[in-house]
């Protein structure tokens, strides 16, 4: 087991209000580059270096409830992206996590899986999957880190979410009972509160900087404070701000800047919601999910190729 994160209990952090995320380093912003790629690429690129690479998908909180449903015309979670990667010869696998469990438990599970096979590996984490995979990588051996060719956290609440704060403060017993019912733990909720996450980033900041130097990484965030956002999504963003007590750009679930690590390149997608880059419900994707991942891989490709060549 991993050494437990110090003070991973909210009693150590009197929570008077939600802590806003810090402003990111603008020199790491590659939003314009990603937007240009998404506009220019009418069809996804091919990446020969993905052949025989293991790509691990680390899913979001509660996604165990949907990700085993066969992907079809009405529901799709990572499905088109998984098939596209497999068509290029990648071995795409789900991380053996329990999406209702704590960061500690899931990081331990992921580390155990990665340690069984040190072939070149890419990791894509959605939402809480980025938090879980970050904790795993921060506790990985140097040899294991040498095998990780890229790490792509998508919409991950590295600095927490007001939704977790609200649930923890006002519905902890109910939320904890539901998480336990589905085989998880209330610690899953505690791990995502803003006070815990701010303390976590502060504690591990130098290690995170070393990690993002060693592994090609790229954070994706979004903002619904954009005219392209659907009216229902704007409603989600408004609810988010009511809980937060102030106007804060967000994807409706996670504050825009909360999904950005201080030392990693990043892009902010205008008009996207929290799950739009990996999840489709009722609406056709028109290849959008695959083009997004293809564009994202274009940005990390030079660093990946350099690392692959040793």
Question: 109-151, pLDDT tens digit by residue?
Answer: 999 999 999 899 999 999 999 999 999 999 999 999 999 999 9
d(CA 132, CA 217): 15
Q: What is the mean pLDDT of the chain?
A: 83
Residue 214 lies in a domain: yes
CATH of residue 212: 3.40.50.1820
Residue 16 lies in a domain: no
CA angle 132, 138, 143 (to 5 degrees): 120
Q: Look up residue 206 and give its two tokens.
A: 């130098």
Q: pLDDT grade, residue 30 (50/70/90)?
A: very high
Residue 22 lies in a domain: no
pLDDT at 7: 47
Cβ distance 273 to 239 under 8 Å? no
| In the predicted structure, residue 20 carries a pLDDT above the cut 90 | no
Q: pLDDT grade, residue 4 (50/70/90)?
A: low
Residue 217 lies in a domain: yes
pLDDT at 262: 95
Mean pLDDT of 305-309: 95
Q: Which residues of 214-237 are buried (b: 16+ CB within 10 A; e: fewer)?
A: ebbbbbbbbbbbbeebeeebbebb
Q: Look up residue 46 and give its two tokens.
A: 């091919």
* Residue 196 structural domain: 29-308
Contacts of 184 (CB under 8 A, 6+ apart): 98, 99, 100, 101, 102
pLDDT at 11: 46
In 3-state terms, the chain is what percent helix, strand and coil (to 5)?
A: 45, 15, 40
| In the predicted structure, residue 103 carries a pLDDT above the cut 80 | yes
Residue 8 lies in a domain: no
Question: 73-89, pLDDT tens digit by residue?
Answer: 567 888 889 999 999 99
Cβ distance 136 to 111 under 8 Å? yes
Residue 122 lies in a domain: yes
Contacts of 217 (CB under 8 A, 6+ apart): 150, 151, 152, 153, 211, 261, 264, 265, 300
Question: 231-253, pLDDT tens digit by residue?
Answer: 445 555 555 555 555 567 888 78
Q: Give me the number of domains the chain comprises.
A: 1
Residue 21 lies in a domain: no
Its pTM stands at 0.90
Residue 7 lies in a domain: no
């Amino acid at each position: 087991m991993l050494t437990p994160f110090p003070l991973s209990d909210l009693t150590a952090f009197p929570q008077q209000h939600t802590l806003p995320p810090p402003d990111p380093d603008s020199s790491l912003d590659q939003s314009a580059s990603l937007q240009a790629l998404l506009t220019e690429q009418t069809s996804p690129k091919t990446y020969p270096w993905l052949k025989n690479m293991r790509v691990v998908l680390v899913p979001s909180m509660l996604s165990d409830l949907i990700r085993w449903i066969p992907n079809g015309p009405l529901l799709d979670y990572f499905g088109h992206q998984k098939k596209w990667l497999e068509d290029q010869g990648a071995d795409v696998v789900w991380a053996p996590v329990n999406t209702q469990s704590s960061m500690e438990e899931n990081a331990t599970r992921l580390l155990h899986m990665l340690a069984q096979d040190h072939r070149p590996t890419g990791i894509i984490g959605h939402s809480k999957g980025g938090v879980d995979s970050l904790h795993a990588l921060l506790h990985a051996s140097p040899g294991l880190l040498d095998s990780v060719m890229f790490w792509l956290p998508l919409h991950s609440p590295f600095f927490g979410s007001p939704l977790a704060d609200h649930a923890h403060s006002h519905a902890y017993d109910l939320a904890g009972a539901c998480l336990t019912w589905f085989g998880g733990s209330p610690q899953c909720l505690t791990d995502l509160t803003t006070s815990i996450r701010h303390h976590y980033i502060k504690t591990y900041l130098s290690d995170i900087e070393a990690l993002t130097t060693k592994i090609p990484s790229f954070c994706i965030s979004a903002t619904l404070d954009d005219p392209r956002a659907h009216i229902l999504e704007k409603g989600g963003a408004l609810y988010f701000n009511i809980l937060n007590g102030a106007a804060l750009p967000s994807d409706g679930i996670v504050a825009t800047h909360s999904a950005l690590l201080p030392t990693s390149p990043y892009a902010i997608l205008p008009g996207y919601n929290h799950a739009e880059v990996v999840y489709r419900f009722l609406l056709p994707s028109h290849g959008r999910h695959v083009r997004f991942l293809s564009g994202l891989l274009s940005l990390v490709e030079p660093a990946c190729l350099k690392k692959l060549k040793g």
